[in-house]
Amino acid sequence: MNKKIGFIGLGIMGKPMSKNLLKAGYDLTVCDINAAAVNELVSLGAKPAATPRDVAAQTEIIITMLPNSPQVKEVVLGRNGVDEGARAGTIVIDMSSIAPQAAQEVAKALAEIGVKMIDAPVSGGEPKAIDATLSIMVGGEQAVFDECLPILKYMGASVVRVGDIGAGNVTKLANQVIVALNIAAVSEAMTLATRAGVDPDLVFNAIKGGLAGSTVMNAKMPLMLERKFNPGFRINLHLKDLDNALTTAHNIGVPLPLTAGVMEILQALKVDGSGNDDHSAIVKYYEKLSKIEVRRKLA
């Protein structure tokens, strides 16, 4: 508990995750381009830092939670980056969802100055970030994982090491493929039910306990029915993840035809102005084609 932790990236996910570390009693230093987010964490007991370099200079373990590979590389290896302030023995935990190859490249650069790294992307969205029940998938050396495990457990209900550096992000890409295809399947099925004149809410309740039931459907179907598309996980971010999945797959010779199809659905929604909606808004694509809405019927 005496380790000093830095947290860089206080967005939809990073802010509640960092709050949970404060609740756990950790000495926390935070940094973000959003001053309001930093000030909110400072009001709860965190210390502010102006740059990633300053974060690294004041802490022993630095957590990054950033949008994509370029931002992680910039924050860790760029001007005033983590690498400029870190000392040998420092650990970087990158909890962003990035390309596996990018994680390996950053880890290799850090290793040259004696800094260790694990990639630890998460699944569960904002609600699970808030209540500290995220699923965390980790790539890296066993010894580094063991050292970081107590910290990760304050942010997630499931923390699993899946292999060496980069394996965490491979696992996250697999997760994102399954989630995207699941939401698309639910959307397609419920559009069919609605157009056929059957209440989609009743269809949901009838099938959720059977083989078609899933955590994804249980989480996203109520949002569709209630037309609540404010982001827990933005379509734009899922687009980024599927782009990383397709790039990674193509580099190793794995076709992902269904993923490519859903990628185009997400791209169409982005063009239509729904890029900042929750990914449950995939249903809007099918609704537009069928000229109906999947919603809960009023009593």
Can you give the pLDDT at residue 2? 74
Domain boundaries, the chain: 4-165, 170-290
CA distance 246 to 174: 11
Domain 170-290: which topology?
Answer: N-(1-d-carboxylethyl)-l-norvaline Dehydrogenase; domain 2 (1.10.1040)
pLDDT of residue 1: 56
Contact residues for 43 (Cβ-Cβ < 8 A; gap 6+): none
Query: Tens of pLDDT along the chain (299 residues)?
Result: 578 999 999 999 999 999 999 999 999 999 999 999 999 999 999 999 999 999 999 999 999 999 999 999 999 999 999 999 999 999 999 999 999 999 999 999 999 999 999 999 999 888 899 999 999 999 999 999 999 999 999 999 999 999 999 999 999 999 999 999 999 999 999 999 999 999 999 999 999 999 999 999 999 999 999 999 998 889 999 999 999 999 999 999 999 999 999 999 999 999 999 999 999 999 999 999 999 999 998 75
Query: Which residues fall within 8 angstroms of residue 202, CB to CB, at 6 or more apart?
Result: none
Domains 4-165 and 170-290 share a fold: no
Count other Cβ atoms within 10 Å, centred on residue 94. 32
Known catalytic membership, residue 172: yes
Taking alpha carbons only, the member of 171, 125, 175, 92 closest to residue 17 is 125
pTM: 0.92
Give residue 17's pLDDT: 98
pLDDT confidence of residue 232: 81
Of 19, 172, 220, 240, which residue is the catalytic one? Answer: 172
CATH number of 4-165: 3.40.50.720
